[in-house]
Amino acid sequence: MITQRVGPRVLGVAVLCLAFAASPALAAPTPTTAPVHLALAAPATDGDRAPSLTVRTLKFGLDVPWDLDFLPNGGMLYTERARKRITYRGPQGTTYVVADSPGNVWAEGETGMMAILVAKSFRQTRRFFTCHGSTAGGSPDVRVVMWRLAADNRSARRIKSIVTNLPTTTGRHGGCRLRYGSEGALYIGTGDAAQTPNPQNLRSGGGKVLRVVPTTGRGWPTNAFSGSAHAMKRRVFTSGHRNVQGLALRADGRMWSVEHGTYRDDEANLLRNGGNYGWQPGPGYDESSPMTDFSLPGKQIGARWRSGTPTIAPSGATFLRGPKWGVWQGGLALGVLGDQHLRILKFSPEGKWIRSWKPPALDGRYGRLRSVVMGPGNDLYVTTANGSGQDRILRVTPRG
């Protein structure tokens, strides 16, 4: 196990970040790229000093571990995107590959074996969910699949697909994130597949956050469009998204999303049932379009935080919990791909952005950061996304 401990540093209120989009068609920065930031208008005081972080490498030699989640026994399941693999890691570090390139799983561009979520009923059912590319229907799509982990944790089998036909073409903007809501619903964040009509088309699953019944994949009964005759529209919780990369449930029970901007304005959004977040890149998938186009018909909802220009390419997100996180407790932690760091955003109870931090322990030291997940003991677990078998799962612990 590799351990590093580094002291705190505070990020500026206004940020100018040298970053690249997460699309493989664009060049990623090297690990030595030096981002540019402005200073805070006022430094932190002793009363809100950020904690130091201890970073330990739990696993090295992975290839884009896209997501992870924890089991009741303290073990974890994690995915590797391009390897199309799901692995169990026990509390003592023993690992078993439980699914290795299962049939019809499709990996191309940004798509592959992506999100993973352990079912709330796992103790009784041993079920978990993944979201991955698939060719099971002939042409590629992205779908949410229910699995069962064997009692000995050495294998898993697919039970059924609960949501299918989430759009993808080349794999661009074909990501997928899964989270439980406080009401027990399953939330599914999707990309727009770089197809102009999808974000505003309520019959498309692309560029949306869907909310479904976990056991069936049917639309949650209180969704804004639950009375529609169209099955996908009944699933829609929010629309008008470009490329949702993260979903995070705040302690107050409200769901937030994190998504990639174009050359500007990555976003953190507070989600509202039936809300339209204003991405409409038409005609011709015009990426100079604003992330929130307030000229569209109806009412659009603006972001609670934007990166500005250029983007930093945030990905997974979680709200930090537990008093050991100090001033960061309750902050929204983002894994950042393009600018290669951990970003922590503090919001007021009403959702107004207050300030940001960029802990030096995870600033450019491990390359591109993909997923951030709260784990046992309120430690933070982080996956990297550098490829070529050079990736890690990190455990991050705050220290005073």
Encode pLDDT of 1-55 as tens digits.
Answer: 555 544 443 333 333 333 333 333 333 333 322 232 322 223 333 346 899 999 9
The CATH number covering residue 201 comes to: 2.120.10.30
Percentage of the chain modeled with pLDDT above 70? 88
pLDDT per residue as tens digits for the range 222-245: 999 999 999 999 999 999 999 999
Per the prediction, the chain carries an average pLDDT of: 90
Alpha-carbon distance 17 to 38, whole Å?
Answer: 9
Structural domain count, the chain: 1
**What is the extent of the structural domain holding 154?**
2-399
Q: How many residues comprise the chain? A: 400
Answer whether residue 76 shows pLDDT above 90.
yes
Sign of torsion over alpha carbons 47, 344, 293, 14: positive
- What are the pLDDT digits (tens) for 267-322? 999 999 999 999 999 889 999 999 999 999 999 999 999 999 999 999 999 999 99
Quick: pLDDT tens for 91-122: 999 999 999 999 999 999 999 999 999 999 99
Q: What is the pLDDT of residues 145-184, one digit of tens each?
A: 999 999 999 999 999 999 999 999 888 998 899 999 999 9
Q: What is the mean pLDDT of residues 58-76?
A: 98
Write out the DSSP string of 107-157: -BTTBSEEEEEE-TTHHHH-EEEEEEEE-TTSS-EEEEEEEEE-TTSS-EE
Tell whether the model's pLDDT for residue 390 goes beyond 50. Answer: yes
pLDDT in tens, 117-148: 999 999 999 999 999 999 998 999 999 999 99
Between CA 162 and CA 67 the distance in angstroms is 19
